[in-house]
Amino acid sequence: LPLLQAAGKKKSFNLIGLSEAELEEQFVRGDGPGGQATNKTNNCVVLKHIPSGIVVKCHQTRSVEQNRKLAREILQEKVDLFYKGEDSDVFKEKKASEKKKQEKKRRAKENLERKKRLKEMQQLDEK
């Protein structure tokens, strides 16, 4: 199940296909901020992949059609992760972005240390 958290809105092209017969779709009221636009309209899409039991709830936009499309994309990535595991393109992409983020963090830390040493040297020179 922790693998499923890697799914997001990534653009992977080698995903497992979903058929509409395997999906169960519901429209419910969304939650969160938005007032009347959220509280009176059923524009939140709940999509369930019946064979795997994976459920996705999408309420990213006010449009039902856009939410349907986004829910299917997210569900497709989660199903791909569920069946392929670490061999999934989504998982590999997530790992690569984490590695890139760690490298960026490491470089920022090194630059901060360099600046700190430079400042200390300048203070020593002034005395």
Pairing of strands 23-28, 44-49: antiparallel
* Same domain flag for 80 and 94: no
Q: Is pTM, for the whole model, over 0.85? A: no
pLDDT in tens, 24-34: 999 998 877 77
Within this chain, do residues 30 and 65 fall inside the same structural domain, yes or no? yes
Does 28 share its domain with 72? yes
Domain check: are 55 and 92 in the same one? Answer: no
47 vs 88, residue with greater confidence: 47
Whether residue 31 sits in one domain with residue 78? yes
> Mean pLDDT across the stretch 36-64?
89
Instruction: Extract the tokens encoding 8.
Output: 């997001």
Domain span at 104: 86-126
Q: What is the mean pLDDT of the chain?
A: 84
What pLDDT is stored for residue 89 in this prediction? 78
Sign of the alpha-carbon dihedral angle for 1, 5, 47, 15: negative
Helix (H) or strand (E) holding 45: strand 44-49
What is the model's pLDDT at position 1? 44
In a domain, 121, yes or no: yes
- The C-alpha angle with vertex 37 and arms to 48 and 31, in degrees rounded to 5, equals 45
CATH number of the domain encompassing residue 28: 3.30.160.20
Q: Is residue 55 in some structural domain?
A: yes
Residue 8, in any domain of the structure: no
Averaged pLDDT for residues 62-66: 91
Domains identified in the chain, total number: 2
Task: Write out pLDDT tens, residues 114-125.
Answer: 999 999 999 888
Residue 65 lies in a domain: yes
